[in-house]
A and B are shown apart, each in its own frame.
Chain A
């Protein structure tokens, strides 16, 4: 199945959610707009590429829910941590940029781990190395770089690997 067809089928759903009305009429309107929207993005998203959805993707849906649960937990922890730092009378931080090797290889996996790192406590993805094997992560507390590498590998990357690869 070509990616163009999958995108075309997904766009009416997005339209229904954005317009807020779920009805036959708005699905048709979404199909109409979708036909116009898909065409200009042909080159950008390689819509002619043939992809085969496998049962693997469906089997990983429970893992995706586990990933979202972990993500929301980490976001709340991150917010409390930043709030604590911000409310200190004198800001006493030791930031730095750390190179973190990653095991994910697919594009979606790397996107997932990069976004997860940004939303978790004290870390912010800055860039990816040229060979896509490591991320550069800005940390608000860089006194223990190895500890941060270990915590990303064990606590976050595990769930991303299970959910997206």
Chain B
């Protein structure tokens, strides 16, 4: 039997997986570490969110909203942690790369951070 929750769940899963694969293409195609981080931090967040949202909708469809099912709560928790940690890890990688002396790619037109670099 196909119901509304199932369709919504599959739609979220497809959107999430499409964005995740775009993120991986970005990781391969973009020129330097900073631009690649753009692809992974932003797209990784929405892609993972889509997959987790699909789990939540599926669980609501299976067992109703109340009482909340364990798997649904876990998916929500993981989503919140990804929302908090993904930008922080991106920021840490970018900062560490700059301090290690990884230069910006040749297309870069501006670097106002240069004077602030401390070795």
- Which residues on A are within 8 Å of B, measured CB to CB? 14, 16-22, 75-76, 78-79, 82-83, 85-87, 91, 93-99, 114-115, 118-119, 122, 124-127, 129-130, 136, 138, 140, 142-143, 145
A132 to B71, CA, bound (A): 41
Question: Which A residues lie within 8 Å of B32 (CB)?
Answer: 95
Question: Which B residues lie within 8 Å of A125 (CB)?
Answer: 87, 91, 94
- Which residues on B are within 8 Å of A, measured CB to CB? 19, 22-23, 25-26, 29-32, 34-35, 37-39, 41-43, 45-46, 67-74, 76-77, 84, 86-88, 90-91, 94-95, 98, 104-105, 107-113, 116
- The residue on A at minimum CB distance from B91 is A125
Q: Is the interface of A mostly helix, strand, loop or mixed?
A: mixed
A145 to B110, CA, bound (A): 9
- The residue on B at minimum CB distance from A120 is B42
Question: Which A residues lie within 8 Å of B67 (CB)?
Answer: 22
Known: A118-B91, A119-B87. A94 touches B73 (CB 8 A): no
A10 to B104, CA, bound (A): 42
A130 to B107, CA, bound (A): 28
Known: A93-B35, A126-B34, A140-B38. A83 touches B43 (CB 8 A): yes
Q: Do residues A20 and B91 form an inter-chain contact, with CB atoms below 8 A?
A: no
Q: Do residues A142 and B87 form an inter-chain contact, with CB atoms below 8 A?
A: no
A130 to B117, CA, bound (A): 11
Q: Do residues A126 and B98 form an inter-chain contact, with CB atoms below 8 A?
A: yes
A75 to B69, CA, bound (A): 27
Known: A126-B94, A126-B98, A127-B95. A79 touches B43 (CB 8 A): yes
Given contacts A86-B26, A97-B108, 14 further A-B contacts (CB under 8 A): A17-B73, A17-B74, A85-B26, A86-B22, A86-B29, A95-B107, A95-B109, A96-B108, A96-B110, A97-B110, A97-B111, A118-B91, A119-B45, A140-B35
Q: Do residues B38 and A22 form an inter-chain contact, with CB atoms below 8 A?
A: no
Known: A93-B35, A93-B107. A115 touches B98 (CB 8 A): no
